[in-house]
Amino acid sequence: MVKVLILRTGGTNCDLETEWACKLAGAKPSRIHISRITEGKVKLLDFDVLIIPGGFSYGDDLGAGKVLANELILKAKDEITLFREKKRPIIGICNGFQVLVKAGLLPFKDQYVASLVWNDSGRFEDRWVYLRVEQSISPFFKNLPEIIRFPVAHAEGKFVVKNDRVLKKIENNSQIVLRYVNAAGEIADYPYNPNGSIAGIAGICDEKGLIVGMMPHPERALLKIHEPDWHRNETDDVFSFGYQFFKNVIEYCS
């Protein structure tokens, strides 16, 4: 059975629903406090997948995800590096995405050329968005229609890059996994792009496609009845797009 480590710390708050998502997808998840890893009591390498879920790790006090990012690269660097080299998936959702970017794991190893900053609106916002599944090198977005919906819920989700070259490189490498679009699938302004991310970027992966970060929350879109307008769409389907995403990750490992 695929073993998933759901990393948590003070302020993590999407770990329980992420655990449930993994169970639905047929994996064996464990919610592990970062201290168990830095103490050496739990070995990261005993797991097949690492997920850093959403929340406000350490209150996001030094900028979203910054403190946990530092903890990872300063106290667990070797384990993370090995985990990467062994081609095991690392997924960062919302705060987890912020952690991966600020830890220099996305978009390129140890290059700090992108960041997630305050929404253009200057506010935390919770809303469902249309996402275009891009043709990317990540194996975790198959069996999904071109346009899907997940909710976003963040204040610091605006994806920015150091310069155009970085954007070009991410695009040319097919490292963009999800873009914010309108219902017709076109890049559009607020509220379709909820935070002002450049080129509507909602999620990216690393050069191998196995480290994935996204602001939207697949673990909040597991069931049809999670969708905000499910009363309008009568269907016998039980599951929604988020379930398929987790299934893709787990199936890749098994």
Q: State which residue, 12 or 193, has the beta carbon closest to another protein.
A: 12
94 catalytic? Reply is yes
Which is closer to another protein, CB of 125 or CB of 207?
A: 125
Chain centre distance of CA 144:
16
Taking the least distance from each CB to another protein, the nearer of 164 and 234 is: 234
Q: Which is nearer to another protein, 134 or 156 (CB)?
A: 156
Active-site residue, 217 included: yes
Taking the complex as a whole, the smallest distance from the CB of residue 195 to another protein amounts, in Å, to 13
First to last CA, the chain: 7
CB nearer to another protein: pick between 88 and 226? 226
Closest approach of another protein to the CB of residue 156, in Å: 12
Helix (H, G, I), strand (E, B) or coil at 150: strand
Q: Which of 94, 205, 226, 227 is catalytic?
A: 94
| CB-CB contact of 32 with 26 (8 Å) | no
Binding site for another protein (CB under 8 A): 10-14, 16-17, 20, 33, 35-36, 54-56, 58-59, 123-128, 151, 153, 219-220, 222, 225-226, 228-229, 231-232
In the complex, least distance from residue 27 CB atom to another protein, rounded to whole angstroms:
15
CB of 204 to another protein, least distance (A): 23
Distance of closest approach, residue 199 Cβ to another protein, in angstroms = 23
DSSP 19-58: HHHHHHTT-EEEEEEHHHHHTTSS-GGG-SEEEE--B-GG
How many contiguous H segments (helices) and E segments (strands) does the chain have?
7, 11
Which pair of tokens denotes residue 236? 């016998």
- The question of whether 156 is a catalytic residue gets the answer no
CA gap 97, 116 in Å, rounded: 9
Q: Which residues contact 224 (CB under 8 A, 6 or more apart)?
A: 230, 233, 235, 237, 238, 239, 240
Q: Tell me, what DSSP letter sits at residue 108?
A: B
Which residues carry out catalysis?
94, 217, 219
